[in-house]
A = this chain, B = another copy of it.
């Protein structure tokens, strides 16, 4: 089989890159795990944590001789990574990434890669609100989905190798086109983040209610949104700039539905409210049934001090 790799290179050692490095080491998926990051402090920290076998400031240095190179940088930087590694890739090397947007990643990376049929973009639908090499952990992908979006013409063997890698990390694998990925994630991830950022901003600005009241009484629901709205600003700026059309389309739907809800409240249409509020429960039940969320009340959050 294709696993373990002789050399795996990971460029960008943040939450996702460091989790992949840890998973690869813990599960013996590669003989060498070469890590590169643009931030010297991150390179030093990765070495200190011992989550790879070599540590590089230069992406090309890590990628040289690798069988699989995975770009784990913000979407806006993936073109730079492809440009840096393109010239040093060994023949037959597979290139992949983990960006949260896929059509734009293909557009930015593919032109710089020497073997166009060995590029298998991927997106693991897993994460936390934290960033950097200390935030990662080997089990992050366990039970989650990793979506592969190979452009037409990609070698089947490269696709199945990347699929096997993700499965070995504990993930389920699904394949779809980059464009469809971007539509699906606009709904299940990008719109939720946009709405969360927006509501936290609205609450921060309102004059009738003090900041301290917003914070004290946040357990009524607001605090849930602040977790998502604490996600990395660079990563999320890049996502919205690179999935503009699908996000604007999803946002249009959301606003239309919200206008109808607003009207139901204004006119006191209790039945319309009750019907929507009943319909939405079924979706949570399904998410729990397929193992994508916990059935514990309140996410299993413990009361302070417990």
Contacts and interface: CB of A to CB of B under 8 A. Distances in A.
A178 B174 CA distance: 52
Contact of A293 (B193, B199, B244, B301): B301
Nearest to A235: B277
Nearest to A15: B297
Determine chain A's interface SS by DSSP, over half rule.
helix
B294 A301 contact: yes
Contacts of A206: 187, 250, 253
B197 A280 contact: yes
Copies of this chain held together in the complex: 2
Interface of A: 100, 125-130, 135, 139, 142-145, 147, 174, 183-185, 187-206, 208-209, 211, 213-234, 236-237, 240-241, 244, 247-248, 250-251, 253-255, 257-258, 261-262, 265-266, 268, 270, 273-274, 276-281, 283-287, 290-294, 297-306
Given A192-B199, A192-B222, A224-B228, 19 more contacts: A100-B220, A135-B297, A143-B305, A192-B220, A192-B224, A192-B225, A194-B261, A202-B254, A206-B250, A215-B287, A218-B293, A219-B293, A223-B284, A229-B280, A237-B270, A240-B265, A244-B266, A251-B265, A291-B305
